[in-house]
Amino acid sequence: MLIDMVKSFVVGIFPRSPKLINIWKAYERGEVTEEEFKDSYLEHIKNVVDIYIEGSLDVIHDPQSNWHDHFRPFTYFEGLEAGPLTRFYENNTFYRRPIFREIPKFSEAVLKDFLSKLFDSRVDGISIPGPHMWITHSIFKGVDKLRSIEILLEEVVRYLVDIGYRWVFLHEPSLVYYGDEVSRVEKLYKGLMDYRDNIVVYTYFGKVNDVLNYLGSLGFKFSVDMRWNSIRDLSSFSKGPVILGIIDGQNTLLEDPEDIKRFLVDKFGDDEIWICNNVDLDFLPYDYALKKVWILSRIGGG
């Protein structure tokens, strides 16, 4: 396999460094100024982006390290709020369920503090919850579910693409953990068809299913979690749109880059293949997340 046939990149929230964690806690206790806190955060982001660039990754994903969870920044939109702390699937990790009280009002001012693209032009990828994840994990108080999600996502994705994010990763664990009917998924994705060249449907915590096949047929690229799927499970898919989440973001065990290259050659020959982490590296301590970036870089020829 030619090395440049493997495209590799990191997806999702990158963990905070121990230094940033401590400064964050000190900031919450009122022991450092807002300026010191912001400087520290910007330094962290720059370091992570530098590492992605030096590793020649094919997508420079926004580290999003000031996102408390995937939903949180959006809960500051008018009409939305952060609800109860809830376990995130089968993990010792918790998020706040969004509560929709009315159709959310998009606000650039709210988002700007959470988007690294606005101060580092090298960044070209970002992760946000996909429509299925929104509808599965939110609480709706007297508002139309589909309509709320449709309006919210159309506006958010359009804005992200407009400001220069080339890749928008729609996190969709619920699509493969719970499954769903093709017809409902079609409704959820209808409003995003114009952006399908920019979108990757990023799935994890479950086995691939017909719904993904359907999204692939609409032209959406999607990724699969290789902790839940074997290559055998992917046999019903055309190779093109599938991205392999093969680097384990939930285990500190370090993959051997050469071992994975051999595996990819064996299974895909000379076809171009895209690989990434199977879940956010935020499930790992910072030092191990850095090691996983190095592994992805080595496999991709960086």
Partner 1 sequence: MLYTQEIGSIKKPRYLIDMYKLFLNGQVDYEFLRPYIEAASLDTIRMLEGAGLDIVYDGEMHRWEMYYHPITFIDGIEVAGYVRVWDNFYFLKGRVVKRPRLIKNYHLDEALFILRQANKKVKIPVTGPYTLADWTFNEYYRLNKGYEDPVKVDYEAKYEFSLDLARNIINPILKELSKLDIFRIQIDEPAATTHPNEMDIVVDAFNKSVEGVEKDVSIHICYSDYSVLIPYLDRFKTVQYTLEFANRDSWGLGVDDESRPGYTLLRELVDYGYDFELGLGVIDVHTDKIEPPELIRDRILYALKFLPPEKIYINPDCGLRTRSRDVAYVKLRNMVRAVEMVRQIL
Least distance (Å) from partner 1 to the CB of residue 242?
15
Tell me how far, at minimum, the Cβ of 227 lies from partner 1, in Å: 5
Q: How far is the CB of 256 from partner 1 (least distance, A)?
A: 9
Rounded Cα gap, residues 192 and 81, in angstroms: 24
User: Residue 197 or residue 287: which is nearer to partner 1 going by CB?
Assistant: 287
| Tokens coding 7 | 């495209």
Nearer to partner 1, 162 or 232 (CB): 232
Shortest Cβ distance from residue 223 to partner 1 (Å)?
A: 15
Question: Whole-number minimum distance, CB 13 to partner 1, in Å?
Answer: 9
Looking at the Cβ atoms of 191 and 300, the one nearer to partner 1 is: 300
Question: Which residues are near partner 1 by CB under 8 A?
Answer: 15-16, 18, 21, 24-25, 28, 68-69, 85, 87, 90-96, 226-232, 246, 250-253, 263, 282-288
Residues whose CB falls within 8 Å of the CB of residue 216, separated by 6 or more in sequence, listed in order: 222, 237, 238, 241, 242
Q: How many CA atoms lie within 13 A of 256 on its CB side?
A: 4
User: What stretches of the chain adopt beta strand conformation (E)?
Assistant: 6-8, 78-87, 94-105, 125-129, 139-140, 167-171, 199-202, 221-225, 242-247, 273-277
- Pick 4 or 28: Cβ nearer partner 1: 28
The CA-to-CA distance between both ends of the chain, in Å, stands at 15
Tell me how crowded residue 258 is: count the other CB atoms within 10 A of its CB: 10
Please give the Cα distance from 173 to 177 (Å, whole number): 6
Q: Which is nearer to partner 1, 25 or 190 (CB)?
A: 25
Q: How far is the CB of 101 from partner 1 (least distance, A)?
A: 22
Instruction: For the CB of residue 230, give the shortest distance to partner 1 in the complex, in Å.
Output: 5
Nearest-approach distance from CB 266 to partner 1, in angstroms: 10
Nearest C-alpha neighbor of 214 from the set 238, 245, 246: 238
Query: How is 160-176 classified by DSSP, letter by letter?
Result: HHHTT-SEEEEE-HHHH
- The 3-state DSSP composition of the chain as helix, strand, coil percent (nearest 5) reads 45, 20, 35
Of 65 and 148, nearer to partner 1 (C-beta) is 65
- Is 187 or 227 the residue whose CB approaches partner 1 more closely? 227
E strand or H helix at 50:
helix 34-54
* Cβ-based nearer residue to partner 1, 28 or 50: 28
DSSP 85: E
